[in-house]
Structure formats: C-alpha cells, structure tokens
C-alpha cells in the first residue's frame, strides 16, 4: 500500500493515550511547522494556536471537555482559536508580511489589499467568525496528517465547552474563540479502538465524477 494511504489507515481518533510517552521537542516543532505552512483563504491565517503541555492547565480543561481522559493523558493539547472579529488590520498585517518576505514594495500590493477588504470587511461579525473557524479547521487537517507521517497519534475533539475554554485560556479578551482541540501523543496498548477496522463510505457512495 502506498505510504500516503498506509499512514491514513494507521491513523485513528485515539481514545486512550499512554501518559508515560511524550512527543519530543524535535517532532513537536515539525508538527507546528507543518501547521504554520497550512493553506488558508488569501493566506491570512485568521487564528492563533495554543500548544499546552502544562499538566495543571490540562487538568483544568478536562472537566470542560466532557471528562475525556485524552486531555490529561496526551503529551500535548493543541487549541485552535479563531478570530471572532477583525478589521483592516488583518489584511494590512498580512500584506506587510508579503512585502517583507517577497521584497515587494507595499504600494504594489494596495490593489490586492483593497480587493480582500472589499470581500471580507463587509461580512457580519457572525459570518466572519464562521469563516475564521473554517480556516482553523484547514490547519487542523494538516497537523493531523503530518502527525500520521511521524506515527504520532491524535484525537480531534469538538466535545468541549468552548466558552469555558475561552475563560480558562483568557481568549475572549484577545478576540479569540476556541474552534477545535487536538490532543497528540502515543496510543496506549489498552486502547481497544486501535484494532477496529476503519469504517468509511465506499468510493461509489462518496465520489461523483463529472
């Protein structure tokens, strides 16, 4: 089997982590760099990512995560926090980064900046928040696949109390909201779900070629 498919077949939503095993700093940096390189609409990356290894903080998050053991047993907890609102600064800061990185005069990017602003700034606050959360999910997919390449286990988690996360991590005052959580580490031998056959729709059900 091709390694691409083999790694995706190996990956599963880990229900029980081995709390004696930690992801190395080297591998963690690889995962975070893969996340940083993730695609996003216009390249704006309208989110911030919190990487939690502090056990006390993980213990605080467990009760507001339906008591799931992954929060405290995993090596790290990664919180994807989307911007709840934004203004021109989101585009302006990105364009400044483009100008610096690609050595392009800022004035040469003005038309592109105006185009982005015309599409984004007129959106309602609710629509902006939904859009930024979707961008965070793209990054989530990237880090999950990168982890599978490194044989690091993951579990994406939406079974959380978002408002409680925001309070514990001080996100609201930063104009951020917890979109989704990813726990990473190494599966426990006691996790029976690792032996389950992967259940997915057939190609015939899922795909339509036009």
Write down the pLDDT at residue 83: 98
CA-CA distance, 5 to 164, in Å (whole number)? 37
In the chain, which stretches have pLDDT less than 70?
1
Residues facing residue 89 across a β-bridge: none
Q: What are phi and psi of 147, to 5 degrees?
A: -65, -40
CA-CA distance, 134 to 139, in Å (whole number)? 9
Write down the pLDDT at residue 2: 82
Write down the pLDDT at residue 1: 59
Q: What are phi and psi of 198, to 5 degrees?
A: -75, 130
Q: How many other CB atoms sit within 10 Å of the CB of residue 118?
A: 9
CA-CA distance, 84 to 32, in Å (whole number)? 22
Write down the pLDDT at residue 89: 98
**pTM assigned to the model:** 0.96
What are the b/e assignments for 28-44, b being 16+ CB within 10 Å? bebbbebbeebebeeeb
Q: How many other CB atoms sit within 10 Å of the CB of residue 114?
A: 11
Nearest to 162 by CA among 148, 174, 172, 153: 172
């Amino acid at each position: 089997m091709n390694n691409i498919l083999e790694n995706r077949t190996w990956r599963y939503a880990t229900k029980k982590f081995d709390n004696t095993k930690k992801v190395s700093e080297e591998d963690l940096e690889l995962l975070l760099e893969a996340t940083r390189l993730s695609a996003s609409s216009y390249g704006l990356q309208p989110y911030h990512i919190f990487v939690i290894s502090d056990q006390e903080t993980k213990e605080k998050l467990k009760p507001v995560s339906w008591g799931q053991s992954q929060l405290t047993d995993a090596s790290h907890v990664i919180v994807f926090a989307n911007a709840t609102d934004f203004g021109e600064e989101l585009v302006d800061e990105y364009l400044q980064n483009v100008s610096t990185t690609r050595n392009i005069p800022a004035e040469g990017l003005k038309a592109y900046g105006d185009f982005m602003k015309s599409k984004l700034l007129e959106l309602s606050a609710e629509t902006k928040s939904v859009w930024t959360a979707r961008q965070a999910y793209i990054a989530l997919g990237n880090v999950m696949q990168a982890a599978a390449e490194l044989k690091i286990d993951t579990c994406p988690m939406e079974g959380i109390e978002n408002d409680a996360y925001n309070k514990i991590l001080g996100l609201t005052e930063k104009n951020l909201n917890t979109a989704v959580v990813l726990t990473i580490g190494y599966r426990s031998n006691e996790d029976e779900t690792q032996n389950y056959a992967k259940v997915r729709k057939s190609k015939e059900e899922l795909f339509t070629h036009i």
